[in-house]
Amino acid sequence: MKEDESDGRSIKSNETLFAIVESLRESEGAGVTELADRLGLAKSTVHKHLVSLERHGYVVNEDGHYRLGLQFFNVGVSVRNQFEVYHAAKERINQLAFDVDETVWLIVPENGMGMFIYGVPRSESFSFDSTIGNWVPLHANSAGKAILAHLPERKVLETIDRHGLPARTENTITDRDALFEELERVRERGYAVNYQEDLRGLHALATPVIRDGRPIAAVAIAGAANRLTEERIQAELSEPLLEAVDDIELRLVYG
């Protein structure tokens, strides 16, 4: 067998494996027949992959109904612990959330998207547990815009080319020129704002965590639009946010 043919089969098998995992995640579990029908695969192929995943703890078989296993959580926690910014920011984010009495997030960019890796909720916050681990497009929220504003223009263009500028709400910036104008305002202001661009009824502000001249994360304060007004953001929230991020950057340098 030619090497490229072997590689092709291996890649196809990997793609099938990932498709099964994603399908289980979206449906919160399924049987072999259901998965095979949904993915257009042979039941024997699906079963073979599920057995392998179960052997390694990545799926659990409950009387023929498969769901994702806690091994994924174990891996996710390990990945998060590899980020120095998580350890440097955690305590300071806790303090900031207490001081401003609003939800505070730590968002990290990767492959042109942003992920919520830590946060402290306000008591009546939106679905908090379902937000940790979520991906968000960088152009549609304050943390993402704070990060984009401190990337080289070519990196911003690469992100746009890769992910586009999809509308999350009617307020989302979907025009390239308008986005670059907004990023310039972010740099001038020192922080980014989000006025119902990602979720209706939600306002936020964020500033990037800079290390060695590049944005490695962003800290965002988010809350109901009727509380996080433009006036309150400017008068009460922007300064505590900037001070918190200054502290985080110092901890990254001095430990």
User: Residue 46: which CATH number?
Assistant: 1.10.10.10
Domains in the chain, number: 2
Residue whose structure tokens are 């946010």: 241
Please tell me whether residues 204 and 166 are part of one structural domain: yes
195 backbone dihedrals φ, ψ, rounded to 5°: -105, 85
Using alpha carbons only, what angle is made at residue 245 by residues 239 and 248, rounded to the nearest 5 degrees?
145
Please tell me whether residues 192 and 125 are part of one structural domain: yes
pLDDT of the residue at 127:
60
3-state secondary structure of 138: helix
CATH code where residue 228 lies:
3.30.450.40
Please tell me whether residues 42 and 101 are part of one structural domain: no
pLDDT of the residue at 1:
46
Which sign, positive or negative, has the C-alpha torsion 161, 163, 166, 171? negative
Please tell me whether residues 161 and 222 are part of one structural domain: yes
Residue whose structure tokens are 């704070």: 146
Question: pLDDT category, 130, cuts 50, 70, 90?
Answer: low
Among 39, 74, 109, the domain-final residue is 74
Segment 112-122 mean pLDDT: 94
Please tell me whether residues 97 and 70 are part of one structural domain: no
Please tell me whether residues 138 and 63 are part of one structural domain: no
Q: Does the pLDDT at position 125 exceed 60?
A: no
Which sign, positive or negative, has the C-alpha torsion 110, 150, 237, 82? positive
Exposed/middle/buried for 132, CB within 10 Å: 0-12, 13-18, 19+?
middle
- Rounded Cα gap, residues 33 and 38, in angstroms: 8
Please tell me whether residues 145 and 248 are part of one structural domain: yes
- Asked if residue 208 lies in contact with residue 190, where contact means CB atoms within 8 angstroms, the answer is no
Among 57, 74, 91, the domain-final residue is 74
Query: How does pLDDT run across 191-232, given as a tens digit for each residue?
Result: 999 999 999 999 999 999 999 999 999 999 999 999 999 999
Mean pLDDT of the chain: 93
Segment 65-83 mean pLDDT: 96
| Residue 123 Cα to chain centre, angstroms | 22
Please tell me whether residues 123 and 247 are part of one structural domain: yes
Query: How does pLDDT run across 139-195, given as a tens digit for each residue?
Result: 999 999 999 999 999 999 999 999 999 999 999 999 999 999 999 999 999 999 999
DSSP assignment of 54-112: HHTTSEEEETTEEEE-THHHHHHHHHHHT-HHHHHHHHHHHHHHHHHTSEEEEEEEETT
Please give the model's pTM, rounded to 2 decimal places.
0.89
Please tell me whether residues 107 and 213 are part of one structural domain: yes
Please tell me whether residues 159 and 111 are part of one structural domain: yes
Please tell me whether residues 178 and 195 are part of one structural domain: yes
Question: pLDDT category, 5, cuts 50, 70, 90?
Answer: low
Please tell me whether residues 88 and 62 are part of one structural domain: no
Residues of the domain holding 154: 83-254
Exposed/middle/buried for 50, CB within 10 Å: 0-12, 13-18, 19+?
buried
Among 18, 48, 74, the domain-final residue is 74
pLDDT of the residue at 6:
55
Segment 91-108 mean pLDDT: 97
